[in-house]
Amino acid sequence: MHNDLKYLQVSIEDGIGTILLNRPNVLNAINRPMVSEIVHVMEEMDQNENVKVIVLGGVGRAFAAGADIDEMAEATPLQLELLNQFSEWDRISLVKKPIIGAVQGFALGGGFELALCCDILFAAHDAEFGFPEIQLGVMPGAGGTQRLTKLMGKTKAMEWLLSGDRMSVEEALNYGVINRIVARELLIDETKKFAIKISKQAPLSLRLIKESVLKAVDYSLYEGMQFERKNFYLLFASDDQKEGMKAFQERRKPNFKGR
C-alpha cells in the first residue's frame, strides 16, 4: 500500500490505520509535500471500511520538530497567499474517524499543531511541546493560537505562545493537552491497544460523537445540544442501534457493522 509515499510509513492492521512521519534525519520536520501526503492518506483511510481508527506517530527520536524553515525562510506574503499555505491542514479537521496521536521527543511548532489536530493524544516521558515561532519573528499559522487557547484558556495559552518555552509532558498532561503518559518503548503499542478498544465500538456512534464534540468547542451550549440531539436521533435509523440494544437485552456482545 502506498509505495509512492516519500515522507510517511503507512500500514493497516486490525482495523487501525497507522501513519508514521518518516523524515527522521531532520526530526520529521514538516514540509508542504509531507502535509499533502498526510492529508491524502487520512482521507483515503476515512473512506476505507477496513479502517476504524487512525493512529498518527513519528519514526525516530521526534514526533515532529517543527516546520521546514528552509522551505519558508524566503517566502513572501503573496506567495503564501497564492499557495494557500494551510488549506490542506483544514482538511485534517474534516476527517470523520477518530485520530489518536502518539508523541515522542519533540512536538514543536507545526509538529505541535499537527498533534493538536488529533482527537486523543498519548505521549512518551521524553515528549516536549511548544511553539517557538515567536523566536523566529513569526507565529503559529496552522491553528496553534486557536486550538491551544480552546484547550487551556486565554492566559495559559498566552504564556506558552508569547514565551516560546517548551512544555514538559507532565505540564501537557496537567493542562489537558494530552490524555496520558506512556513509557517510550510502549508508546505505539499502547496507542494501538487503545485504538483497537475504540475500534470495537459502533462506527456511526464514533463518527457522530466526534462530530458533536468538535461542535461543542465552537458552539454555544444551546446550539451544541441541538446538534447533539439531531445526531442522537439519527443513530436510531442505524442497524447498529438495533443490534447494540438487542445485544444488551440478550446479554451478549454486539456485532456492529457500521450501518
Beta carbons within 10 angstroms of residue 135's beta carbon: 12
| CA distances for 123 relative to 13, 105, 212, angstroms | 22, 9, 25
d(CA 68, CA 30): 5
Determine the 3-state secondary structure of 103 from DSSP. Answer: strand
Q: Catalytic residues, which ones? A: 67, 110, 113, 133
Ramachandran quadrant class, 75 (left: phi over 0; alpha: psi -120 to 50; beta: rest): beta
3-class DSSP assignment, residue 123: strand
With beta carbons less than 8 A apart as the criterion, state whether 202 and 122 touch: no
